[in-house]
Amino acid sequence: MKKLSVLFALMASPAFAASGPFFSLGNTDFVVLIAFILFIAVLVYFKVPGMIGGMLDKRADEIKSDLDEARALREEAQTLLASYERKQQEVAEQADRIVAHAKEEAKQAAEQAKVDLQESIARRLAAAEDQIASAEASAVKEVRDTAVTVAVTAAGDVIAKQMNAAAGNKLIDAAIAEVEAKLH
């Protein structure tokens, strides 16, 4: 039964739906076939397939041109990216060198500051020692001067008490003789 139903389904196709001879204007299938052939002939006559092919070729060329331009732009962008990455690396290296140089200069400046501070301390100590020595010498001189003054005053008092006019004249004559001996 299945085989029979398949056979009836195939026989019921639209090509068998038309009645009468196939090559007649009453047959709709024949009319549709002629209209389709005329349509294709008109398309070929007006060169529509060539125009469609030309349009497709033109579109394909535009797409190919766009792809080539995109590829060129991509390569240029990659070149630019590589260039910027190199520049970034160079700048980073230069920054590292600058930081290292600045650290070295700071270290040298700190060492120089230590040396300068030690020299300044040494100068100030020397100046303080000089002032102390000067003050000490001044104090010693002042003490000596005071001692000499006291000694002279005391000697003058002792001599004045013990000295009479004859002894004074005798001392003066001895001093004149000594000066005269030294001058000649």
Convert the pLDDT of each residue in 113-123 to its tens digit: 999 999 999 99
Task: Supply the pTM of this predicted model.
Answer: 0.39
Alpha-carbon distance of 124 to 121, in angstroms, equals 5
Helical H runs in the chain? 2-11, 28-45, 48-162, 165-183
Q: State the CB neighbour count (10 A cutoff) for residue 169.
A: 10
Q: What is the DSSP letter of 163?
A: -
Alpha-carbon distance of 81 to 88, in angstroms, equals 10
CA angle, residues 32, 37, 43, in degrees to nearest 5 = 125
Alpha-carbon distance of 130 to 127, in angstroms, equals 5
pLDDT tens digits, 39-67: 999 999 999 999 999 999 999 999 999 99
Where residue 94 falls among pLDDT bands split at 50, 70, 90? very high
Alpha-carbon distance of 86 to 106, in angstroms, equals 30
- Structure token digits, residue 105: 């200069």
pLDDT tens digits, 18-37: 566 777 878 889 999 999 99
Alpha-carbon distance of 154 to 120, in angstroms, equals 50
